[in-house]
Amino acid sequence: MTVSLRRTGGIYDAQSESGSTYRVDLGAGTCSCPDWQQREPEGGCKHLRRVRLDVRAGRVPTPDGRLPAPSGGEPGVPCRMAADGGGAVGVTGPHLEFDRHGRPTGETYYRCEDCGRETIHRTDLDCE
């Protein structure tokens, strides 16, 4: 399963192995999948659990759009290449996001070309 932050406020997309994508609202504790509709009183579905797990593990941005700490560092600290004077390439973007079918989603993101981190807020990347 692949999890990505859709927009700040805790809205994530969870793409299952079958290719279906479900919208997970972490703040509300809801999911758009049919399983959540049946299990809602019992605490949700596997998509909701996976998003919670990935956020806690730092694999996806937090609900406010902040990046997880890079390589055990602190959020907002420059990437290792920039910090070590390794000739940082810099941050590029905004890049237009596309869905799995190649259609633009209307969302944008920024990328550090050195460390590969991506975020929806340019200020979260202090890599230049």
pLDDT in tens, 70-124: 544 444 444 544 444 444 457 777 777 776 666 777 777 777 766 667 777 777 7
pLDDT in tens, 36-52: 877 765 667 889 888 88
- Cis peptide bond N-terminal to 104, omega within 30: no
pLDDT for the residue numbered 23 = 94
Listed in order, strand segments (DSSP E) in the chain are 2-7, 11-15, 21-25, 30-31, 91-98, 104-112, 118-119
- Is the separation of the CB atoms in 6 and 12 below 8 Å? yes
Q: Which of 8-12, 56-60, 93-97, 116-120 is the most confident on average?
A: 8-12
pLDDT for the residue numbered 41 = 59
pLDDT for the residue numbered 86 = 45
Name which residue leads in pLDDT, 69 or 13.
13
Residue for token pair 């919670």: 52
